[in-house]
Amino acid sequence: MMKQPHTQQDELVFVNISRPDEIKTASTQRTIRRTVMRDIGRSRRTQRKPRTWALSVRQPVNPSTTAVDSLPSLTNTSIPASIDPCNTAYYPVHLDDRGLQLMHFMTSDKDYVFRPFRSVWFSMALTDPSAIFVALANAAMFFDQRVRAQEFKYETSSECLAYYGRCVQQVRARLGNVKESLSEGVITAILGLICHDLYVGMGDRWNTHFTGLERIIRCRGGYHGLNPNVALFAFWLDVIGSVAEDTRPRMPKPSGLAAYFGAAPPNVIAPSVRGLLDSLFIRDGAFCDVVIAFNYVTSVAIAVDGVQRDTEPFWQREDSLTIIELFGPATHFLLSMPRPVDLDSSLEGTKFLREAIRLALLLLLAALKRDVFRFTSSELPHLQRKFTALVAFLPMTKYDVLCLRLYLWALVTVSLMADAERSDLYIAEIRSAINSLGIDVNDALELVKSILWVDALHIQTDQFISHLSKSTCT
């Protein structure tokens, strides 16, 4: 038989008395107590048991192994989900409340500010007790920039400088230990200092730290035994610092980069351009480097045009190493090419043309980094000044058709990427080259595009053509 539901009527008990004093009789009091105790007993029997949770103690994470394992390699650029910045088990040193606050700022800042390689650097910083302080220096600087947006000055950012100085002090002490001085941790910390120096424009400080890094890498016998990302960033920071002053790089290419371009860049230049360059190479063996350089930069241009078609480009993630893989080898080669002073004096007519092409290719890469990849390209002004100064040494009147075509390409390419004031410096020279080739302005632009053109830069040519046409009339 189904149990009937409990109703409110069942809760009521009626006591019948004819006089007020009957409330005190034994039978009446017994009835009252029985009813009250029934309710109390029921509440005790139906009381909910308290909720419990099973807890277990997990082994603390070892920061020296977990952070290394989380680093992306050249073949796998994925990174685990962001760590909890308040979980002190991840840090190689004890951080006070302010340090934890800065780490939290660095992880949350990514919601509204894109910083290339942020998550990769953050993971690397967790591997070493000195490197963590340069990460804090960066965090303090970015925090200061946000708080004092209008008044910020690096030299007065005391908290940033204090963390930076602490890192330098620790690295200096560790360099006194033979074993520690060659360790991957010290190298990682120095790389952090170098990256910081480049960001704040401290060229002398960058050079000092890089000289030390170069010695350590040489004493180790190269990149052997280093985490792939440590080797990659040693190479990349060398390239970035060297291109800012257009000096030769000091570090070799890591072996892992060969997986992207192979042992040498593919032969991707158009047949007509290859024929033009091969003809010059036959006359002047030094143009062999120019052929390789065009292949490198053309490979970059093709890759960039490809990723531009993606609705959500993967290279816009802060854990992506695409920009290093793309621009590193090409820039390294261009910086390693012989300069005019290194070439035979008998090549007086073409060695300056080679230099103009080299500078134009570097400027093209710089524009791509800045305009497509949103990466700071501090080398642009310096390279433009060098190109402008070089134009005065180019003996255009002695050039044949092959040389004039390449020279016109270099002039127009640099002019289209320069600001209006600097672009005007090349108008007369471009006009002379066009007249010497016997073509009009539109044909000249088509010639330039056929040699090397990057659609991803979205260069507007209408104003350029109009400007050249007006200069013709005058």
Q: Summarize pLDDT for 228-256 with one digit per residue, the tens.
A: 999 999 999 999 999 999 999 999 889 87
Does residue 303 share a domain with residue 222? no
| Per-residue exposure over 251-274, b if at least 16 CB sit within 10 Å of its own CB, e if not | bebbebbeebbeeebeebbeeebb
> Residue 37 domain-assigned?
no
**How high does pLDDT run on average in the chain?**
80
In this structure, the answer to whether residues 192 and 317 fall within a common structural domain is no
Query: Which of 195, 228, 261 is at the close of a domain?
Result: 261
**CB 231 within 8 Å of CB 254:** yes
The pLDDT tens digits for 410-433 are 999 999 888 766 777 888 899 999
For residue 30, being part of any structural domain is answered with no
Q: Are residues 105 and 172 in the same domain?
A: yes
Query: Do 329 and 257 reside in the same domain of the chain?
Result: no
Higher-pLDDT residue of 57 and 375 is: 375
Q: Is the pLDDT confidence value at 171 over 80?
A: yes
Q: pLDDT value at position 425?
A: 80
Residue 26 domain flag: no
Whether 107 and 149 share a structural domain: yes
Residue 393 and residue 462 in one domain: yes
Interior angle at CA 264, CA 260 and CA 270, nearest 5:
95
Please indicate, yes or no, if residue 81 is contained in any of the structural domains: yes
Instruction: Mark whether 332 and 392 lie in a shared domain.
Output: yes
**Per-residue 3-state assignment (H helix, E strand, C coil) for 211-276:** HHHHHHHHHHCCCCCCCHHHHHHHHHHHHHHHHHHCCCCCCCCCHHHHHHHCCCCCCCCCHHHHHH
pLDDT of 96 strictly over 80: yes
Stronger pLDDT, 121 or 450, i.e. the higher one = 450
Domain identity same for 166 and 250:
yes
| E strand intervals along 132-200 | none
Query: Quick check: is 17 in a domain?
Result: no
3-state secondary structure 390-410: HHCCCCHHHCCHHHHHHHHHH
Q: Is residue 38 part of a domain?
A: no
| Residue range 199-222: mean pLDDT, rounded | 92
* Residue-level pLDDT at 126: 83
Query: Domain ends where: 236, 261, 286?
Result: 261
Q: Are residues 244 and 361 in the same domain?
A: no
Residue 24 lies in a domain: no
Q: Which residue has the higher pLDDT, 101 or 256?
A: 101
* Contact of 107 with 86, CB cutoff 8 Å: no
In a shared domain, residues 253 and 287: no
Domain membership of residue 241 as a residue range:
63-261
**End-of-domain residue from the set 237, 261, 285:** 261
Assess whether 255 and 300 both reside in one domain. Answer: no
Tens-digit pLDDT profile for residues 269-322 = 988 899 999 888 888 777 889 999 999 999 998 888 877 676 666 666 766 788
Q: Is 58 helix (H, G, I), strand (E, B) or coil?
A: coil
Whether 464 and 322 map to the same domain: the answer is yes
Contacts of 367 (CB under 8 A, 6+ apart): 377, 380, 417, 457
